[in-house]
Amino acid sequence: MYPLNYFLFLQIILFLFITPGTPRIVIISYSMNYGVQKCIWTALGDVTANIIQATLVIFVIGSFFSDNPNFLNIVKWIGVIYLLYLAYDIYNSRLKDINSNNIKLKSFLSFFKDGFLVAGTSPKAWMFFPLIFPQFIDFNSNYVIQFLILISTYVVLDFLSLVAYAVLAQRLIIWIKANPRTINTISASVLVIIAIIIVFIQQY
């Protein structure tokens, strides 16, 4: 009934979450531009996409991705295009006063959508859930309970790590205000670099 090697699973996902990947770069930038509260919606979008991905892999798709690498290529290019769009949007945004009414120009749904699409089009996530996630499930036992334990653990820790990145970014806001273009330029550049790496390194 319990997942296989649960503590190993914990170690793997904790390592993934402390590594500043694409969702965390977006969270850092959004936190400094819009505040921690708005980033909660981005984090919710991220974990919602992960729940859907894991559910599809375990209960619907199965080995579809390993048998159809071209589909992963489609997902990869959608993700690359969206990352470049986010990089452009972040680079051209201004660091806003989080107490200002200007932050209302971007809706909660828009923050949720960005988190959902960044996670939902991530080739890294679509490789993790089909290839790594099932390794910790004993399909000869009650795998539904095991799935619920694993995905609940993943979602809670992922959400908390994203919020932690947002809070940490807010602590740096005083330094950033002295040079308001810095974080947007850095964040946009990192997203472009990640997009390039995805194009040339992740081949299916």
**83/102: higher pLDDT:** 83
Amino acid letter, 67: D
Look at residue 102 in the predicted model and tell me its pLDDT.
47
Per-residue pLDDT of 124-182, as tens digits, reads 787 788 778 888 888 788 888 999 999 999 999 999 999 999 998 888 776 666 665 66
| pLDDT value of position 164 | 94
- The per-residue pLDDT of the chain, averaged, comes to 80
Asked if pLDDT for residue 43 goes beyond 90, the answer is: yes
How many other C-beta atoms can be found within 10 angstroms of the C-beta atom of residue 65?
20
The number of beta carbons lying within 10 Å of the beta carbon of residue 6 is: 14
Per the structure block, which two tokens stand in for 51?
Answer: 């729940």
Residue 78, pLDDT > 90, answer: no
Residue 64: pLDDT band with limits 50, 70, 90: low
pTM of the model: 0.73
Select from 167, 202, 180, 184 the least CA-distant residue to 87: 184
Separation of alpha carbons 152 and 54, rounded Å:
11
* Alpha carbon separation from 33 to 24, 138, 161 (Å, rounded): 14, 44, 19
DSSP-derived 3-state class of residue 99:
coil
> 65 versus 166: which is more confidently predicted?
166
Question: 51: buried, middle or exposed (CB in 10 Å: 19+, 13-18, 0-12)?
Answer: middle
